[in-house]
Each structure stands twice: as C-alpha cells, then as structure tokens.
Amino acid sequence: MVGVCVVDSFAVSLPASVRRPTDVDLSVRIGSLLLSNPVIAASGTFGYGVEFAHLVDLNSLGGIVVKGLSAQPLAGAPAPRLCETAGGMLNAVGLQNIGVHTFVAEKLPELRKYRTAVIANVFGHTIAEYVEVIRVLEDAEGLAAYELNISCPNVDHGGAEFGLDPVSTTEVVTAARQAAKRPLWVKLAPNADVKAIAQAAEASGADALTVANTYPAMSIDPLSGRSRLGRRTGGLSGPAIKPLTLRLVHEVSRAVKLPVIGLGGIQTAADAVEYIIAGATAIQVGTAHFADPKTSESVVEGLRHHCNELSLYKINDLRRTLE
C-alpha cells in the first residue's frame, strides 16, 4: 500500500512505512478543476478574498468564491442587514457589490498572487445581465470557475427567482454556458424542487452544483413590532440549516452525475465530513467566518487530522459512504 503526498500538485508515491501525518491526499477534482483540498470560502462571507489575507493563509484554502458580482455596482439593502437567530443568522445584504469592472481592475490583480482557486459568483436580474458579467470576466486572467447564483428575481418574469423554476434555470444556465469557457457551477436555492432544478442545470451544461443558498426567513422584534432587518425578509444561514441542507446534498448527489459542493452551517471538520459522506465532493464555509475568519483554514487542518485518525489516505474515500 502506498501513501500519496501532494506537494504543490506534484503527487509523490511513498511506501506506507514512511507515511507522515501530513501525507493525506486532500485534493479533489471538480470536473476539470483540481483543488488542493475540498474547503472553499463561500460567497458573501469572505469579501473578495484579499481583505482576509492578513488574517488567513489564503494559499491553504482549496478555493475562494468571491462576493456575488453584477454588471453594475449595487448599493444593497437598507440597514439593519444582519441579525442573529437561534443557531444561525439572517441577512438581507441585497447583493451589495463593487460591480464586475471594478472587481477585475482592483481585486483580481491582488487575488492572482495566490495559488488558491478563485471562483467568481455571478448574478443578474435578467439573463442578459448574467451574460454581461461573464463576458467581462472571460477577458480577465486568474479565475478558475464561475458560480451562478440563481436565487435572484427574474425581472422579465414578474420577479420569480430563476432557481425556483426548471424552465428559467434552463434558460439562464444555457445562456451562461454559451458565454463561458471556464467551468460553470450552478448554486441552487434550497426552497425549490432541488432534484428538478439540479437535473435542469445538468442538462443545460453545468459542470458542478453548489447546494445550497440561504433559506428565506424572517425575524420580528416583539416590542417594536418591526422586522429585525431593513428588508422585511432575509436569508437564514448557519448551524440551524445544516441538517436541512445535508439532506438536499444527499438528494441532489443521487439525482445527477455532476460533482456537488455542499454548504450550510459548516463550522468544523466534522460538519464537513458529514457533507462529504452525504455525497459532496467539496464543501464551502460561510457564516462561520463571521465568528472566526480562520474557520476555513481550521477545517482544512481538521480534515487532515480526521483522515489520519481513520487511516484514510485520500479524502475522496469518504465521499458517498453513507451506509
């Protein structure tokens, strides 16, 4: 038996007798993309990555999904935008972002200095807007993939979210596929018929599915009688949603052949392992970064430790092992 030591993507075979604790192969393949490990920072919870460089070793992460990018900058929703709930957090940020042009001009040159895979999260309110963002990014160097956020209102169809309807999903993913040469991940809304949406995305050319976004939710201050958010409703994230999204990952990973990237409430390596056992090839860490920006880094180390404890040589051996 041999252990596999991955050093900067060079795989070296070692006899088991000289296997060291760090020799676990954490690398994962998402379609054509090879990540050094399965831990990715989730969109909207890690800025544009570079803002965290003084706190976190960005090269230690498998990937970074940047804040959702639109064709034009967006100011976002009125305050308050965040509120804590039992076991989770509500947000109504309103997809505030600097816009794709400023991202390419100011953030991407900095991000390119790191080995970590950078994934651009893309959204729009029309199909043309999604395509426009991808067109701008296609001309830029330094991105590994796109992640389409389809939990956005489709203004051409009365404001219904793209990702709640297989037809709208097919339209937006087909258009994005035609515009994108890079790998295309599609991020599902959890409050949909996820199996039908996953199959529509797969048939339209997606390379991977991210499962899932936040759950529509609300919180009311009983004294004032007002919403605790500037917008009445928001999205629930954090540990409270982990059991719900874990089931979605289990369901989606059996409904399609595409790799699934699981996220929702991951705080520890043990949480990540649950997602991998359920069927995820990789995982993302989101809300946990608000409590500790180094969470993703700790999850990478925790996964290495977990594999060592179980005498596993490859993290991939854990995937879809639910009994």
Q: How far is the C-alpha of 263 from the C-alpha of 183, rounded, in Å?
A: 19
Min dist. Cβ of residue 65 to ligand FMN (A):
7
Q: Which is nearer to ligand FMN, 91 or 281 (CB)?
A: 91
- On whether the CB atoms of residues 196 and 203 are closer than 8 A, the answer is no
Q: At what angle do helices 166-179 and 127-138 cross, to 10 degrees?
A: 20
Beta strands in the chain (DSSP E): 2-7, 10-15, 28-30, 33-35, 39-41, 63-65, 82-85, 88-91, 117-122, 145-149, 153-154, 160-161, 184-188, 208-211, 215-217, 220-221, 226-227, 234-237, 260-263, 282-285
From the list 168, 237, 253, 298, which residue makes contact with ligand FMN (rule: CB under 6 A)? 237
> Within 154-193, which residues bind ligand FMN (CB under 6 A)?
187
Token digits for 163? 């990702």
- On whether the CB atoms of residues 67 and 91 are closer than 8 A, the answer is no
DSSP string, 39-70: EEEPTTSSTTSGGGTTTS-GGGSSEEEPSPB-
DSSP string, 294-312: THHHHHHHHHHHHHHHTT-
Q: Which is nearer to ligand FMN, 21 or 78 (CB)?
A: 78
Token digits for 310? 């179980």
Token digits for 191? 């409050």
The yes or no reply on residue 265 touching ligand FMN (CB under 6 A) is: yes
Min dist. Cβ of residue 296 to ligand FMN (A):
10
Which of the following is catalytic: 5, 83, 152, 307? 152
Q: Which is nearer to ligand FMN, 60 or 296 (CB)?
A: 296
Residues 18-47, one symbol each (x = binds ligand FMN by CB under 6 A, - = not), give ------------------------xxxx--
The yes or no reply on residue 283 touching ligand FMN (CB under 6 A) is: no
Question: By rule CB under 6 A, what count of residues binds ligand FMN?
Answer: 25
Q: Which is nearer to ligand FMN, 123 or 313 (CB)?
A: 123
- On whether the CB atoms of residues 258 and 242 are closer than 8 A, the answer is no
Q: What share of the chain is helix, strand, coil (3-state, %, to 5)?
A: 35, 25, 40
> Within 71-130, which residues bind ligand FMN (CB under 6 A)?
89, 91, 93, 95, 121
Residue nearest to ligand FMN (CB): 44
The yes or no reply on residue 266 touching ligand FMN (CB under 6 A) is: yes
Q: Which is nearer to ligand FMN, 179 or 188 (CB)?
A: 188
Residue 152 annotated to the active site: yes
The yes or no reply on residue 63 touching ligand FMN (CB under 6 A) is: no
The yes or no reply on residue 241 touching ligand FMN (CB under 6 A) is: yes
Helices and strands, counts by H and E, the chain: 9, 20
From the list 24, 263, 272, 299, which residue makes contact with ligand FMN (rule: CB under 6 A)? 263
Q: Which is nearer to ligand FMN, 3 or 234 (CB)?
A: 234
- On whether the CB atoms of residues 27 and 35 are closer than 8 A, the answer is yes
- On whether the CB atoms of residues 35 and 22 are closer than 8 A, the answer is no
Residues 203-232, one symbol each (x = binds ligand FMN by CB under 6 A, - = not), give ----------xx------------------
Q: Could you list the residues that contact ligand FMN (CB under 6 A)?
A: 42-45, 67-68, 89, 91, 93, 95, 121, 149, 187, 213-214, 237-238, 241, 263-266, 285-287
Just list the catalytic residues.
Answer: 152
